[in-house]
Structure formats: structure tokens, C-alpha cells
Amino acid sequence: MTTATVTVTIHEAPDVIQPRQHGKPGGLLRYCNFVTALILGIVLAALAYWITGMFTTGEALNANFVPIGINVQITAMYVGWVVGFMIGIGAFVGPIRWFLGRDLTHADAEYLAGRGQGRMKFWKYTTDHKIVGIQYLIVSMALLGFGGLLAMLIRTELGVTWAELFNPNFYNSIIGTHGIVMIIAMIVVVSGPLGNFIVPIMVGARDMAFPRLNALSIWLLVAAIPPLASNLALGGLRDGWTVYQPLADQAPVGMIGYQITIITFGFSTAIASVNLMTTIVKMRAKGMTWSRVPIFVYGIFASSLMGLIWFPMYQYSQWFALSDRVINTSFYVPAQGGSVWLYENLFWLLGHPEVYVIVLPGVAALLELMVVFLRKPLFSYKFAVAGIFGIVGLSAVVWVHHMYMTGWAPSSNYPFMLSTEMISIPISFLVLVMLGTMWRARPWTRLPMMAVYAVVWNKVIGGITGVFLSDVPVDQYMHGSMFVVAHFHYMLMGAGLFSAMAAIAYWFPKMTGRYLDNRWGSIGFWVAFGGFQLTFLSMFAAGLQGMPRRVLQFDSLFNVSNWISTIGAYIIGIGMLIFLAAVINSWRSGEIAPANPYGAKTLEAQVPTPVPPENFAVLPVITSDPYGYGSPDPYELEDEARRAALEGGEPAKVGAS
Amino acid sequence: MSVTEPLSPTTGEPVSVVASRNRLGVWFIIISCTTGSLSLLISYSYLWSLNVNSAWAPPNNAWATLWPFWAIFVGEILAGLAMRWGWKGMEKGDRGRMLAGSLISSLLLIAAFVGQVAQIMTFPFGPSDGAYASVTFWFALSNAGWVLLSSFLAFGIFNRTLAGKITATNASHAGLVAMWLVWLAGVAFIGAICTTTMQESPNTNSPDFGNFQEP
Amino acid sequence: MTIDQRPPTAEEGPEEPTNRPTPMHLFRNWLKRRYAKRLIWLTLIISAGWIAATFLAVYFMNMSGGPASAIMSEIELTMYVLAWVCAPLMGVTLAIALYSMIGGWGRVKGDKQPDQDGPGIRNNSIATIGWAVWVSALAAFLVVWGLVELANIQAFANGSVAANQQPNSQQSITVNVTGQQWVWTFAYPDQNKVTTDVLVVPINTPIYFNVTSKDVVHSFWVVEMGVKIDANPGAITNTGFTATKLGTFNIRCAELCGLHHAYMETQVKVVTQDEYNSWVRENGGVRLS
């Protein structure tokens, strides 16, 4: 990116009047960290459980004959956990200081940003966007590991066709937990680490717009995970990640963990989205017009926008579900006037945009990085932006394609089939941008670039099976079968996770100062990719043969495809472990990388590694977009010559090379 | 950037820059909250139109009294206006107006909260008495939550004015809270308009739960 | 060099024939490029492979004995049509990516940054506009085909097919389907409420289903008939089919409905009209036709 610099130095400005300093810089937050959060969370959880236990008798039953008392107790316990954890980490210090008028001084802000602190800053309410990015990276990798482990259990059960390894309750619980853990992990895996670490630098800002909200979003996410994980100990959430009602209302109290997690995670997502979007809109460097913004930033913006708008629907659907359990309302209890279709609508109103929330940042990251490895401008930037916002627009009006077969309004299938098939147009725009950028370029075969090819393959398979599923007649056969499972794994894992791996490999040097080991990273990546094809191509076959999803045992007709799937899944597991080992090893002792390891022109490649505290010594001014690669086109020159020759009436002298 | 404009102590930027950033952030939060409240609207109108198992209406058709919804709505509107009036005064340098406006606003919000709790206590049905009761409870509950949060904000503005943090050149927080209170009234309005306009379900022939009609 | 591109004025008379290259000529020139031919071949091979794969897909669909109804035949036809119209697009996409990956345009190995940039192509209006038109036309075709087919299968399912198009003009049969954890129950209200847990239907007779549930959401899936509808508590949904093949086919639950969801399956027996009549009599019903 061509940049000029202006001298807007800020911290040395002597005339900034400071508010009164109360105590040492940082105040109460000096004493808050992960350990105090854990202790307070557990204490409050126990306290809430005990106190509500004194007031509930445990005899009253709700509409589904589940005792209300224990529901109230468990709910109080989880709420106590979340509130206690957030108090312990120091999340409430900010609002209270605001209320009291004790605004942060510069020294306070420096302390909060983790300046001059050791590794402890990773365990605290630290506001620096680079710290938050690393925290997100660790958390999302832990979530992916947990979800992956559950996936291995699922495939083991399905591969062992001759016996039941798990009881139905446990099996149904692990499919539900696997689903929702992976969804949460995939929502944060690009927007979290890279959106927080890279985007502010990429747009030329010194930090996010709201640094303290940034810390709040990551710690809310951390607080949200234990309720979800603990459901396995509390009877499980045995209803799939969609937790359709009223089945979920029958489930054991583990379901409350799911509901509390989604509500907490909803706040986390909304806060993170607001923060990212405000940063992108308001804090771009001088001269970075909307036509000079790197495409990755557009991807993050679009993803945040969809999450911001639609996540509350999902959150409210879980509020209602929780109140059905705890105060016995009847949103989803048909006998008392509730409707299962209400739940399905509210759920899928987020449920479908969420797919794009997951996929868009990853794909945008690929667009951003492939340019660098192909040494060619991004092909048709405007087309890419149009594609991204086309997806955002259409994502709002396609949710009913998950409900074609529910019978809630058969005539609505016609318009929603139309809108669903329309969405292939903006998606294909992004494909064209990828292909046009590859066109006649010489790829530099590093791992991130090779991952682009892998993702194109996965996207094509996922996309074309999506065409089948968007068609109501075909969906009438496919809906609820393994075909659907294979399709969305191709999109969410094949396009989403593999592009996240590429993006993390690409920005790894900037985040850690070291190269991600290309050799072992690639081996892990391609082993996982191969296993992925095996697993999910044969899962398509199982679906076509008529195997429903979420079953524990099945007709022997489906045995062969399930055996192949299970072998493939283990191969994915091995590949992912190799990749993880490469990440950990490179982080500890990889080759030291220079500030701009791949010769990129975006702003984040221009700042030193490790990135200095305020990112930029002087704020940059942007004079062009970051895609100024390319030499004159030899074919163009040749065509010019030929045209000139033809028009001059002379025979063409230049042959095709 | 005017010469007299104060700079933010933490980032050194002019406070107007920070204020415009904050305003956008609040707008985004309002968008998010709007879709959240829309899901209440969807729930209400959808369950109203379906009347599943003929269980929409509360027992004995004991609908909620309507005027409290509107009273609370008006209270919130007035709270927002008071805050705005104070904020405009503060921008002209009138600290007294800011103090008065934010105090009136906070008291109105507290009153709205108390009214909301009283309404919840006196509903002629419990939360388990059918779909209408469920959604109406949720209108009231969510409004109570929002009002409580907002009264914290309004009192905060009052307290910050006392502490000298809200000044003629840096009054943006008061403006933001005024903006937020307009949205708060919006939540109350959704509840009020739903309960007023949609009462008796239009579907009088809903299938019985788990049974087929006789041919 | 400047080329006069003004339109001919009246004084100049009609335009002289020039030897400016025609689009066809430019296209032929483009085809002379080495990669152009190779890409076309790759596209053709990949598209052909995909078309072959669709036969495999439909083979998988028919492994348990389908298609057993006109709806299922329509679904399989739609599978073919959708796959084939998408084949060229899929072929082009994968061909370009594959060609780039295997180094058709050259590639740079090792960990040293390439010293040479690629051609600085920022846009190509032929490519973008052509692509947008192509994809939009494709999507439009898919929508139109889908809408027509949907209207078709809805007609099959809900009994609005004109009498002369029905396989025969016999009276239809209505079946009330109740899902509950974890069994299906079928009641024949017209046949004196015969109730059974294995669906028995006569061939070539329209069967209409009213579906509901006693507890949670189930999904009534008659696999080889290509029919599926959710069974919702507190609501009744409708579907239907006309069996065209004798035999025993599968009914499964396609919506997670609790612990024993996997075992919530039964069968549909398609029998001749006579066999059906005697089955109804054996079960204490009356054939009303």
C-alpha cells in the first residue's frame, strides 16, 4: 500500500489534561485476573444454587413433567457463574467508575492495555487489541479441539456398526454439543483472532474503537464455555445443536447450560461486532477511502453486521426456552398455545445468516492473502465487494429453506426457493474474483496459497450440493438426511475451517514473530484435507441412500459408507493433530520472521514485528489500494502489436508464445 | 479541530472524535436490540394468529389492563425528553438544566420501573396461563430490565454532571443516553401496541393437540 | 499511433470496409494461447466426470428399491437437470483452479519471495459481465425449473392433479399419521378407522396423509416415495403420493425426536388393490369404494 506519513503524534502531547488519578494506575483491576474470576464464579454459582435450593421444593412439574425446582436451581447456578466470573475478571469496574465519574487517566489506560506487564497480561482484563487477538486464538483453538474430540466419538459410534458403544442419551448429547461448540468456535475463529489483531492495524488504527468492550467480549466468551461443557455432566443436551422445541423442554437440566451459553455468547458477539464495525467505519487511516479498504476488512465488516443484526433473534429464542423451563411460560408448548414453528423461525432467522458469518471472513481472508502469493492485483475489487454485500442482503431472506419440510406455510416455499437460489449469484462473484486473480499468475506455493486451491474445491462441492438442497423437490428427499450433514460440513469446515487455517498460517508471523513451519503445517493440512474428502464424500453417499441424520444405529445398507467416513474422520484427526503440533512448535521455536515475510502491501505488513504498543509511531496516510502488484501484461502488449499490425495492413509478426 | 476543544485523556484525540465513535457504537447496539425486540413482536403476532390448541387467550379471557403499558411508555418518552432538554442546555453551558434534566429523567425511569414491577405483580394471569400470558409477561419483563439499565445510565449522567465530568465542551455522554432513551420508549411501544391491537385471536378453528378432526 | 474512430459523417460517405479484427478473430487468437486449449480440455473432462458422478448419485438413491412413486421420479429427474446445467460452471471453476495449482502458468517454489510480479490485470469487463450474465441465467433457470417442479409435486401430494392425469380414477385413500416417541401410527378414517403400525397402500391409488404428533416434532419420511413432511404437535400437515411399484419400502423419522429417534422406523407395503381390500377386511374395516 502506498502510504505517506503525517506527524500526528499523540502521547507526547503535553496539553492533555488528565483527570485525577485514584490510587495506582489500573485501580481495582490490578487485583483482578483469571484466578479471582474462577474463584468468584464458582463461589457465586454455589451460593446461588444453595440459596435457590432453600426456596424451591422440587415438587412442582412443568408442562413436560420436569420438576421446576431443579431447573431454577441450575439456572441460578449458571447465572451465578457468569456474573461471578465477570465480577472477578473486573468487567464491572468500568461501568462503576463511569457512574462515579472516575474516568480513566492515561496511566490507567496504559495499565489496562497491559503495558509493562509480563505474561500475566494474557490472564487479565487487558484491552490491547493484540492481546485480545491472541486470547481469541487460544480460546477458539481450544474449542475446536473439544469439538473435534466429540466428532471422533461420534464417528467411532457410527463406524462401529455392530454394537452400541454409547447409550442414546450420551450419543445424542455429544452430537448436540459437537454441533454448538463447533458453531461457536467457527464464528470466532477468524473474526476473533484476526479481526482483533489484524484489522485495526490493517485500517491504520492504534487500537479498537472500544478497547474495554473488546476485553469484555473475549471474557464473556470464556465465561460462556463452562456451562456448555458441563451439560455432559448434567444429563446432556440430547437434541442436536438446533435444540428444536418442545424436545428441548423435555431434556435434562444440561439444556440450561446450552441456553445460558447462547445468551452469554450473544452478548459477546454483539459487543465484538459493534467494536469491529465502529473501528472499521470510524478509525480508518487518512486517505483509506471505501475503495481502498483491504477486502479482508470488508469480509469482517459484513460478518459482524450479520451477527449484530441476527444474533439477538437466536438469543431471544433461548431466553424464551429458558423461561418455558423456569417460569413455565408456553412459547413452545403446543398444549398451552405455544408453537414449535415459532422456535424454528426464530432459530433459523439467525441460523442461516450465521453460515455466512462463519464463511465470509475466511473467504475474504483468502482473497486478501492469495493476492500476495500470486503477486497480482485482486481481480475486480468492486465485484468482490458487491458479492460480499449481496450475500449480506440476501442472507436475511433465505432462512425458510431450513424449514421447507416443516409444513408451516407450504406456499412460502416458492418465494424462499427463489431467494435461496438467488444467493448463488453473489457467491459466484467471489468465486470469479478468486479465479480471475489466479488467472495467468505464478503462484508461490506456500501453505496459505495452496490452501486456497483446497478451499475452492470444497466450496465447489459444497456449493453444488447446496443447489440441490435449495430446490424444494430435491430437498424433499434430502432434508434431514446425512446429505445435509455432508453439505454443511463442506461449507463450514471445508470452506470455513480450512480457510481459517490458511489465514492463521498467513498472519502467524505477524502475531507471533515466527513463521509457521511450512513443511509440517502443509503435511497436517493436506492429511486433514484428504481425510475430509473421504469422510464427507462417502457421507453424501449415505445421505443419498436414505440415511437420516443424528441416528445411533441404522440399516445395514449404510454400513460401507459409514466405515469409510469413520476412517476418513480419524485421518482428519491425525492431520489436525499434526497441524496443531506445527503451530505449537513454531510458536515456541519457529524460524524468526521479518516484519513483512511475504511482501504484502497492506498496512499490517508495514509495521514492525512484534507490533509496537500503539501500532504506528506516526499514523499513515493512504494514497492507493493495497493491490498495486503487477507488471505490464505480455499478452496485452502482444495483442496491441498484432492489432497495430493488422490495422496497418501488415501481417502479424508476433506468434503466440 | 478547534483549539479550545478538550482532548481525551486516554488517547489524546479530540473529544468530538471520540464522541462520534461512541454515537455510532450506540447506534449499532440499538440495531441489535431492535432485532431482539422484534423477535418478541414476531412471537406475539405469530402465536396470536395461530391460536394453537385454542390456548392463546388467558383463562376467562382476563386480558391485561392496557393503560399501564401506555403510562410506562409515556413515562419513558418524558424521561428521554428531559434528558435531551438537559443535554441541550449543557451544550449552551447551562449546568443547572443538565442536573435538572438528568435528575428528572432518572426519577421518571425509576417510577417507570416501579410501575412495571407493579404491573407484573397485578397481571390477572400467571406466566403459564397460555400463549398470550407468556408473551405479555415477556414484554413486561424485558421492559423492566431495560428500564433498570437505563435508570443506571441516567443516574450516572446526573452523578457525572455533579462530579464535573459533563461539561459544555464534553457533553456527548448525555446526548448518547438521551438517544438510548428514545429507543427504550420504542421497546415499550412495541409491547403497548401489540397488547392493544391484537387480543382475540383471529383463528377460531385451530386443531386440537394430537388429534384429527372427525371427517 | 492514432486510429480514427469517429463515426463516418455524411460527407465522408459510408464507412469503408476496414480490417479491424472481429470479435471472432480475437477469440481465435485467444484460442491460440497454450493455456486456452488446455483449460477447455480440463473443463470438458471435469464436467464429464461430474455428469458421470450424477449417475452414481442417483444409483445410490435407488439402492433400496426406488423410485416407487411419480414424485420420486420427478426428484431424480430434477437431480439430473440441476447437476447438468451446473456442470459447465463447475468445470470452468475447477479447471482454472487446478491449472493454476499444477503450475500451468508456472509457479514459484521454496521460501524465497518471488521477484517477479504477475500481469497487472485489475479487471476484465468481458469476464465479469459474462460471468454475471451466465450465473444469473443459470440461477433463473434453476428457479423456474424448481418452481414448476414444486408445483408438480405439490399437486401430486395434495391431490389437485386433474382426474385424467391420475394413474387411475379410483377413489383416493386418506390416512391419518400420528408420530409419537418413537412409533408411527396409521389410521384409515374412511375404512372404519383401521389402525396399524405398518402402512399398507394399494398401488396406483392416490394416498393423502394428515400428519400430526402427540409430543415432539417428528418428520414423516417415506424414503423411496420421496415424500417428507414434519409431524408437528398442535398442527396438522398434509402430503401424499401415488405408489407406482409393488413391494416393501421404508418409512423413517427424519427429525431428531429424542433418545430412540434412530429406531423410529417402519415400512410401507405397496400391494395390489385386491390384496389391499382383503387386508382391510381382515382388520375389521370396510372398503367404502
pLDDT tier at C10 (50, 70, 90 boundaries)? Answer: low
pLDDT of C168 above 70: no
- The answer to whether the CB of A652 falls within 8 A of the CB of A645 is yes
Contact A373, A443 (CB under 8 A): yes
Spatial distance between the Cα atoms of A475 and A507, rounded to a whole number of angstroms: 40
pLDDT band at C7 (very low <50, low <70, confident <90, very high): low
Distance from CA of C253 to the nearest CA of B (A): 17
- What's the rounded Cα separation, in Å, for the pair C189 and A363? 55
Q: Does A289 touch chain C (CB under 8 A)?
A: no
- Tell me the nearest-neighbour CA distance from A339 into chain C, angstroms: 7
Is there a cis peptide before residue A361, judged by omega within 30 degrees of 0? no
Residues of chain A contacting C259 with CB distance shorter than 8 Å? 168-169, 172, 238
For A404, the closest chain C residue by CA position comes to C229
Closest to A12 (Cα-Cα) out of B3, B12, B2, B4: B12
pLDDT given at position B23: 95
Minimal Cα–Cα distance from A381 to chain C, Å?
Answer: 8
Instruction: Show me where the domains of chain C are located.
Output: 24-104+128-158, 165-282
pLDDT of B160 over the 70 cut:
yes
Q: Render A45-111 in DSSP notation, one character per residue.
A: HHHHHHHHHHH--S--B-TTS-BHHHHHHHHHHHHHHHHHHHHHHTTTHHHHHHHHT-PPPHHHHHH
**Mode of pairing for the β-strands spanning C173-180 and C206-213:** parallel
* Inter-chain touch B52–C234, beta carbons under 8 Å: yes
Count CB atoms within 10 A of the CB of residue C24. 8
pLDDT above 90 covers a percentage of chain C that reads 48
ipTM tops the 0.90 cut: yes
Picking from B7, B9, B36, the nearest residue to A19 by CB comes out as: B9
**pLDDT recorded at residue A650:** 47
Quote the minimal CA–CA distance from B123 to chain A in Å.
14
The cell numbers describing A528, all together, are: 486433514
Mean pLDDT of B40-45: 94
Contact list in B for residue A105 (CB cut-off 8 A) is 9-10
Contact assignment for C210 to B52 by CB distance below 8 Å: no
Size of interface A-C (CB pairs under 8 A): 324
Name the residue with higher pLDDT: C96 or B4. Answer: C96
Residue among A190, A344, A202 nearest A272 (CA) = A190
Q: What distance in Å separates the CA atoms of residue C19 and residue C26, rounded to the nearest whole number?
A: 12
Mean confidence (pLDDT) of chain C = 85
How far, CA to CA in Å, does A27 sit from each of A89, A102, A105, A501, A614? 13, 10, 11, 39, 22
CA distance to partner chain A, nearest, from residue C271 (Å): 22
A284-330: pLDDT as tens digits: 999 999 999 999 999 999 999 999 999 999 999 999 999 998 888 88
Enumerate the residues of chain A whose CB falls inside 8 A of the CB of residue C238. 407
Beta bridge partners of C242: C206
C252, pLDDT greater than 70: yes
Was domain B16-197 assigned CATH 2.40.37.10?
no
b/e map B30-45, b = 16+ CB within 10 Å: ebbbebbbbbbebbbe
**pLDDT computed for residue B11 by the predictor:** 83
pLDDT category of residue B74 using cuts at 50, 70 and 90: very high
CB A525 within 8 A of CB A591: no
Q: Domain spans of chain B? A: 16-197
* Encoded amino acid at A455, one letter: V
Of the partner residues C174, C187, C234, the one whose CB lies closest to the CB of residue B53: C234
pLDDT at C286: 66
Please name the member of B206, B210, B215 whose beta carbon is closest to the beta carbon of C212. B210
What residues in chain A have per-residue pLDDT under 50?
1-2, 4-14, 650-657
Is residue C248 less than 8 Å (CB to CB) from chain A?
no
- Could you give the 3-state DSSP secondary structure of residue A462? helix
CA B147 to chain A, closest CA, distance in angstroms equals 16
Assign domain A3-7+22-622 to its CATH architecture.
Answer: Up-down Bundle (1.20)
Cross-chain residue pair B212–C189, CB shorter than 8 Å:
yes
In chain A, domain spans: 3-7+22-622
Contacting residues of C for B207, CB less than 8 Å apart: 212, 234-236
DSSP per position, B125-139:
S-TTSHHHHHHHHHH
Shortest CA distance from B52: residue in chain C: C234
Q: Which CATH class is domain C165-282?
A: mainly beta
pLDDT for res A652: 42
Nearest to C234 among B209, B212, B214 (CB): B209
Please check whether residue A643 touches C, CB under 8 A: yes
Contact: C178, B210; criterion CB under 8 Å: yes
Which pLDDT does position C11 carry in this prediction? Answer: 56
- Give the tens place of pLDDT for each residue, B139-150: 999 999 999 999
pLDDT of residue C3: 52
Say how many CA atoms lie within 13 Å of A333 toward its Cβ.
28
Pair C214, C179: CB distance under 8 Å: yes
- The pLDDT score that the predictor gives to residue C18 is 62
Contacts with A, C 48-87, CB within 8 Å: 57, 60-61, 63-64, 71-72, 74-75, 78-79, 82-83, 86
Which residues in chain C are contacts of A544 at CB distance < 8 A? 57, 60-61
Chains touching chain C, criterion 3+ CB pairs below 8 Å: A, B
Q: Report the b/e string of C66-94 with b at 16+ CB within 10 A.
A: bbbbbbbebbbebbebbbeebbbbbbbbb
Angstrom CA distances, B201 to A26, A286, B132, stand at: 57, 57, 10
Q: Residue C146's pLDDT is what?
A: 92
